């Protein structure tokens, strides 16, 4: 395998999570009786451009199909995050009724509905039919396709170029990252801006966030590598913000290399943090496997000890990161009999691999677990607030990342 960006030979394996099914491939009851596809889940780091990336075993159209069950609007915190962003970027760029905003991977319209309400023209690009239908119901025009250079060419030919291109948690999801970035370059107006949000590789390494590794994430990005990818496409990263979302993310602002946009001092500041952590050396990568295994072993020991004590443990949040953790640890229904989730699209299904049933949140009041294992630890504050009633019967919360903690 060669690097997705610079095409150097990939030889440095630094994380091996074994074999797992795609994290969002939730099963219905009938599918439990059928064979399940498993793929290697491993990370390599390119020693030339330092792009971290998964094995080439799965195709995007297999992962993001008509049954895709991730709906962004389920999380109130994420809706608030999107709303604040829209207000900020509208003022920052002076967007109005003559502008065009394009969101790549627009999901269920969680973000673009803010531009619709502000009467700013927008277009969603979303290949998963289940989420695209929700966006269309909100009056958002949606192209039900994967974004790539060829689609950008079609849009430009039809007279649609963007003042703002948005990509939240999609840059890491594309197997052909250079073609994707070339498409952004084509679609962007001469003085347009692109903003991309993605989990920061620095936080993954620093906080042992190995459970954010899954097949849907083809790349794991630093600012250093993102700048290189943009430069290859004729784009320039002119600003960056550090966000708390998804356990620590970057929001980068990009433009054409010849744009008048001034380059912010924030770029040098974040790059310095990455250098200080040694991200362009092998040091952070060679020890990471052991750190992941320590977390896994602590989870197994905790669940076994509670089982022996006769305590009941349930999980909350049928998130992709939870699937990675549970499948890596080999956890099944004997140690974790159920997981609750607020998304109707996931309820009455089963987690891939572990086959743990997904129940509505109100089941917690009936089952009264002694511990609620929060699998999407990145929204633990929101979950603890929503489920505070478990304290009424002495229930406690548990998270596994960066280390197993009872809350």
Tokens of 203: 């936080």
Tokens of 70: 């991730």
The pLDDT value given to residue 322: 95
The pLDDT value given to residue 1: 86
Task: Choose among 194, 188, 252: nearest CA to 225.
Answer: 252
**Strand 188-199 and strand 162-168: pairing?**
parallel
Q: Which CATH number fits domain 72-285: 3.40.50.620, 3.40.50.150, 3.40.640.10, 1.20.1630.10?
A: 3.40.50.150
CB atoms within 10 A of CB 92: 13
Please report which residue ranges of 188-243 form alpha helices under DSSP H.
201-206, 223-232
Domain boundaries, the chain: 72-285, 299-406
Query: Are the folds of 72-285 and 299-406 the same?
Result: yes
Tokens of 22: 């795609």
Residue carrying structure tokens 């929060």: 374
Give me the residues of the chain with pLDDT under 50, please.
60, 64-66, 68-69
CATH superfamily of 299-406: NAD(P)-binding Rossmann-like Domain (3.40.50.720)
- End-to-end CA gap in the chain: 43
The pLDDT value given to residue 77: 77
Task: State the Cα–Cα distance between residues 29 and 27, nearest whole angstrom.
Answer: 7
């Amino acid at each position: 395998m060669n690097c997705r960006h610079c095409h150097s030979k990939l030889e440095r394996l630094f994380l091996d999570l074994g074999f797992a099914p795609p994290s969002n491939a939730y099963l219905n009851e009938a599918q439990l009786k059928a064979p399940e596809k498993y793929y290697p889940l491993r990370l390599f780091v390119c020693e030339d451009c330092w792009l971290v990336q998964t094995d080439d075993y799965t195709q995007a159209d297999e992962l993001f199909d008509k049954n895709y069950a991730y709906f962004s609007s389920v999380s109130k915190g994420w809706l608030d995050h999107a709303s604040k962003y829209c207000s900020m970027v509208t003022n920052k760029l002076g967007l109005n009724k003559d502008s065009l905003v394009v969101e790549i991977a627009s999901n269920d319209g969680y973000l673009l509905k803010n531009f619709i309400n502000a009467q700013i023209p927008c277009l969603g690009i979303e290949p998963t039919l289940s989420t695209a239908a929700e966006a269309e119901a909100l009056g958002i025009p949606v192209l039900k396709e994967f974004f790539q250079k060829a689609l950008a060419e079609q849009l430009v030919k039809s007279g649609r170029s963007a003042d703002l291109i948005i990509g939240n948690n999609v840059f890491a999801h594309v197997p052909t990252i250079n073609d994707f970035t070339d498409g952004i370059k084509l679609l962007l107006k001469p003085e347009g801006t692109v903003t991309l949000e993605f989990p920061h590789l620095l936080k993954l390494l620093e906080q042992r966030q190995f459970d954010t590794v899954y097949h849907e994430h083809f790349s794991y990005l630093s600012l250093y590598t993102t700048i290189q990818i943009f430069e290859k496409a004729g784009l320039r990263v002119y600003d960056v913000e550090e966000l708390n979302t998804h356990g620590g993310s970057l929001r980068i602002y990009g433009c054409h290399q010849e744009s008048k946009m001034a380059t912010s001092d924030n770029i040098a500041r974040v790059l310095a943090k990455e250098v200080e952590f040694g991200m362009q050396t092998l040091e952070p990568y060679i020890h990471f496997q052991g750190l992941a295994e320590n977390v896994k072993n602590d989870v197994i020991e905790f669940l076994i000890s509670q089982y022996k004590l006769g305590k009941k443990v349930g999980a909350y949040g049928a998130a992709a990161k939870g699937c990675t953790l549970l499948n890596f640890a080999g956890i099944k229904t004997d140690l974790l009999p159920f997981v609750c989730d607020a998304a109707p699209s996931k309820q009455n299904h089963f987690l891939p691999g572990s086959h743990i049933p997904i129940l509505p949140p109100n089941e917690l009041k009936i089952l009264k677990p002694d511990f609620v294992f929060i699998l999407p630890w990145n929204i633990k504050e929101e979950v603890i607030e929503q489920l505070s009633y478990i304290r009424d019967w002495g229930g406690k919360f548990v998270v596994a990342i960066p280390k197993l903690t009872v809350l």
